[in-house]
Structure 1
Amino acid sequence: MAAKEIYIAVIGAGGVGKCFLSQLETLTQRFTSSRISLIFVSRSKKVIYNPNYTPIAFSELHKSLADSNQDPLPLPKVYHESSVGAGLPVISTLKDLVDTGDSITKIEGVFSGTMSFLFNSFAPTNGLGGKWSAEVAKAKELGYTEPDPRDDLNGLDVARKLTILARLAGLPVESPASFPVQSLIPKELESVASGEEFLERLPGFDSQMEDTKTSAEKEGKVIRFVGSIDVAKKEVKVGLEKFDRSHPIAALKGSDNIISFYTKRYGSNPLIIQGAGAGGEVTAMGVTADLIKVLERLA
């Protein structure tokens, strides 16, 4: 039997994209039943490879699709494991729970590797930790934040992930703007011109976060930036919460994520998924695993 032709297009060749391309090279050697051809790779502003070695203008893509007389593949499938939890099996686990008839009652966790790193450093269970602005600057230096840290601190990254999970759990959530999302950006710094200026001025607002941390410590607790979905109450929210130091969310290390699924079957002991929530290799692994599912369906 002739090998099945599989054509791969990669849109986004940044940190995760580069790791995916490396994993794809290994994949082509393992899946000999399919002939995998990489035909298109692009960055945000430039196509860096195609089979004819000529750039393909994004402005013409939609017209080319509209003019095409080729039918799409039957039974299209969308896989998006890495959209929540990097390479952790969050999406597939939730889908399996729902598809097998379990009832989801609540989903709670730390969904951002950036926020996990920040609060594990700023408010560790041992009561130490540096100043908030210093921890944010360190996280940026280590590559945990976006180029402008406000894109992490506004909470919208977590809100987008909760929107995905809430919909899979059966809630009609319209968008990340349809539920409460706590921003950690001081109002005075929301409109500053750049991320650099934001970091320069952030130390002047350290007392706000320090007061919040101290308040939790007086109760024997720590603060963490979490997202929660209460399916029964149809409530979704993102923001700071206090946790006992013995709580699994409080005990996270580094940039790990933790997601707890409370369901009818699992009762009071949730199904917990925990592990690295950031990093190019683990995030690309989720994309590669989804590609393997596609290859298996087409085999």
Structure 2
Amino acid sequence: MDLQAFVSAIREKNLRNSVFVDVTANEQVARVYDQLLSKSISVVACNKIAAASAYQHYAYLKELARVYNTQFLFETNVGAGLPIIGTLNDLIRSGDRVRRIDAVLSGTLNFVFNHYDTSRPFADVVQQAQDEGYTEPDPRLDLGGTDVMRKILILAREAGHTIEMEQIANERFLPDACMQGSVADFYACMHQHEAHFSALYKAAAAKNTKLKFVASFEDGNAKVGLQQIDPAHNLYHLYGKDNVVLFYTDRYPDQPLVVKGAGAGADVTASGVFADILRASV
């Protein structure tokens, strides 16, 4: 299908309460949002590319939605069906201020590190995650930290901060060699570096900690990276493909507001997209 012809047809029909739903990971699709919003056509995006694009473009899309009295919704950009962005928006709208965010935002990485114990190769656990539908089409977006960077970027922006992707520190745990070539090359490289992944696991296990890929934002600074989490930490008790976000705010300064639950999978993501469609249709 010709994307531009499709968008033009939607604009020409100008049907009341039209909603454009993007469940791709395609950059070209994300580029047409402005054409739709400027005709008062709501956009529901599972696709993270627009909300994680240059701040100027993100702000432009938000402003278009405001000016044309329509909706630009992307709840499933962070945490699949979990009410993370909605909760954050409610905090901000009600006058609260977010001081700090700590989060595990990759259901894929949480699944992988919850299932990897050196009894089978790390690459095999990643393959299982992909087979069960938890990874991006290219798993390197998950394991390389890019997907988590996009998510913490979106949360920081929704909290009111002007921040760009290149300002986020990424303490990558994958060997650089594994980020090159095709997806097949990626899996072969992980097998070649099994000793590296085994050492990471054993170092954490020796301290009675768990490996978690953590995203954090505080004082205008964001970072993502693998951390050893001890049992007393709020991020420790995460299982399967769970995500968790801790919002430390003026109202929740010591005990954070916590949103936790399954953060990957087609069913929960679909429920989040459907909820956004309903919001856009009101």
1:225 matched to 2:213? The reply is yes
Q: Is the 8 A contact 1:256 1:274 kept in 2?
A: yes
Offset at 1:71?
5.5
User: What is the one-letter code of the residue matched to 1:6?
Assistant: N
**How does 1:153-164 map onto structure 2 within 5 Å?**
153-164=143-154
Q: Match of 2:104? A: 110
Change (3 A) 1:266 1:129: farther
**Which residue number in structure 1 is paired with residue 95 of structure 2?**
101
Percent identity over the alignment is 35
Alignment partner, residue 133 of structure 1: 123
Aligned residue type for 1:97: L
Q: Give the whole-Å Cα distance in 1 for the aligned partners of 2:21 and 2:88.
A: 26
Aligned equivalents of 2:196, 2:140: Cα separation in 1:
16
How many residue pairs match? The answer is 238
Deviations 1:253-296 (A, max 9, x none): 11111111111212211111111111122112222212222222
1:204–1:270 Cα change, 3 Å:
same
Structure 1 spans left out of the alignment, 5+ residues: 15-42, 46-57
TM norm structure 2 = 0.75
Paired residue for 1:7? 18
Counterparts of 1:27-66 in structure 2 under 5 Å? Answer: none
Question: Is the 2:19–2:281 contact (alpha carbons within 8 Å) kept by the matching residues of 1?
Answer: no
Aligned to 2:273: 287
Residue 205 (structure 1) aligns with = 193
Instruction: Using the TM superposition, give the Cα deviation of residue 240 of structure 1 relative to its aligned residue in structure 2, in angstroms.
Output: 0.6
Could you tell me how far 1:252 is from its partner in structure 2?
1.0
Unaligned runs of 5+ in 2: 1-14, 42-67
Greater Cα offset, 130-139 or 95-104: 130-139
Partner SS, residue 215 of structure 2: strand
Partners of 2:174 and 2:251 in 1: CA distance = 39
Measured in 1, the distance between the counterparts of 2:274 and 2:131 equals 28
Alignment partner of 1:182 is 2:182: no
**Contact 1:113-1:276 at 8 Å conserved across structures:** yes
Provide the aligned C-alpha RMSD in A: 2.8
Q: Which amino acid aligns with 2:226?
A: L
Indicate the SS of the match to 1:223: strand
What is the CA deviation profile of residues 44-82 of structure 1, one whole-angstrom value per residue up to 9, with x for unaligned ones?
Answer: 99xxxxxxxxxxxx9xx97xx69xxx9547323311111
